[in-house]
Structure 1
Amino acid sequence: MSLPAAEQVRAAGAVLATEASRFSGYGWMRGTAGNLSLVIDRDPLVLAVTASGLEKSELTDRDVVLIDGGGRSIDPTDPRPPSAEAGLHAHIAARTGAGAVFHVHAFDAVVAGHRWPEGVAIRDMEMLKGIGHRAHDETVVIPVIDNHQDMTVEAARFDEVYVPATDDVPEVPALIVANHGMYAWGEDAAAARRHLEIAEWLLRFQVATR
């Protein structure tokens, strides 16, 4: 597999560093927690994902690792490991067609997953428009899966709850991993950020009012 151009990887790293700094400011990526990825190539699938063990508020454009569709590092000259959840990032990108996948440890998402382990149902909220759904007369469920250290297990659990978009109903571009955190994705970094921020707001409302 040929590697993407260094300039392309650095550009992806700069985007992810900016997003990580933003989410760290929200308290969603404390210390080394969380990981973010961007799709660089689709065939074969190649993602830039934040490197493991780094303070997320201090990332630079060099702090990404290239992975394949199985979450494995593909650059033999780079000894750094990708984030532990890299395999799930790659699976979500492949399964949904997303161009960016963001994983954070937002507190209210963890609480919501604990409180509603079968999924968090949300209805009649104006903010649902921000994740592509109707503000009224539709119940949107953000799915919850159990946490596991093996990303092949997590990928299978994702497939069990993921509902692809149809002509009538868009997908729900967010997922809670119980006792862990949440994922959101979109066609690019801006869409993934929007979906993440809006899903977190909706979950925070549910936790505060139920």
Structure 2
Amino acid sequence: MTADLTALDLEEAGAVLAAESARFASFGWMRGTSGNLSVVLTRDPLRLAVTASGHDKGELTPADVVLVDGNGAAVHEGKPSAEAELHARVAELTGAGAVVHVHTVASVALGHRHPGGIVFKDIEMLKGVGQPAHDVEVTLPVIANSQDMKVLGDRLEAAREPRMPAVVVAGHGLYVWGDTPRQARHHTEVVEWLLELELTRR
């Protein structure tokens, strides 16, 4: 643990992430051990609590998180998600306080169909991500997948749409962020609703 963080801080963050994971798993968005969540604990230096690798996301306990640095590397002990580096990159790039990564059918299907991005317009639910419901087009970026988190982070940075707190990774899933775990959850549910609507339209 670092001087500014205690085991209790990490346990409290773990309790929040365990609850959020159970919610997403109940929707079928984090099947098996897929998906991962994080919450920022400090900014300077950047430290995040990230869900541990290889755990059933519907059965996490407050202990199933790992403290990582701004490069996604474990600070103390434990094995974080392989995508912890991307969580840290998103937090640094966007100023987000929490990041959600889920594997939903709609995000994977539409990522294949719309490699240039998924456009939404005149949908009331856009208010859920802070956008007007009418007369504004908002694009959810889609980026090609990579097992190299540096490459994936560069693609996310290049494609990011500041009005949309999310990006689809083609063939993989959805990354969403917010100021807090609760806001990140709300954004995730709204963006997934938009994706499901688009999927049914086609």
One fold, TM greater than 0.5?
Answer: yes
Q: Which residue of 1 aligns with 2:85?
A: 87
Mapped to 2, the partners of 1:61 and 1:187 lie a distance apart of 21
Kept in 1, the 8 Å contact 2:139–2:161? The answer is: no
Aligned partner letter, 1:21: A
Aligned positions, number: 201
Given candidates 166, 185, 188, the residue that maps to 1:174 is 166
Q: Is residue 156 from structure 1 mapped to residue 154 from structure 2 by the alignment?
A: yes
Q: Is residue 128 from structure 1 mapped to residue 126 from structure 2 by the alignment?
A: yes
The offset of 1:3, in angstroms, is: 5.8
Q: Which residue of 2 aligns with 1:10?
A: 11
The offset of 1:163, in angstroms, is: 3.3
Tell me which moved more, 1-10 or 53-62: 1-10
1:57 alignment partner, SS class: coil
Mapped to 1, the partners of 2:138 and 2:161 lie a distance apart of 11
Mapped to 1, the partners of 2:143 and 2:131 lie a distance apart of 22
Tell me which moved more, 154-163 or 177-186: 154-163
Q: Which residue of 2 aligns with 1:42?
A: 43
Structure 1, unmatched stretches of 5+, are 165-170
2:58 alignment partner, SS class: helix
Classify 1:3/1:66 alpha carbon distance in 2 versus 1 (closer, same or farther; 3 Å): farther
Given candidates 188, 194, 203, the residue that maps to 2:186 is 194
The offset of 1:105, in angstroms, is: 0.2
1:156 alignment partner, SS class: helix
Q: Which residue of 1 aligns with 2:115?
A: 117
Aligned partner letter, 2:193: W
Mapped to 2, the partners of 1:17 and 1:163 lie a distance apart of 29
Mapped to 1, the partners of 2:79 and 2:6 lie a distance apart of 20
The root-mean-square deviation of aligned C-alpha atoms, in Å, is: 0.9
Deviating 4+ runs (over 2 angstroms): none
Q: Which residue of 1 aligns with 2:65?
A: 64
Mapped to 2, the partners of 1:3 and 1:34 lie a distance apart of 28
The offset of 1:162, in angstroms, is: 1.2
1:122 alignment partner, SS class: strand
Q: Deviations along 1:16-40, whole A, 9 cap, x unmatched?
A: 0000000000000001000000000
The offset of 1:88, in angstroms, is: 0.5
- TM-score under structure 1 normalisation? 0.94
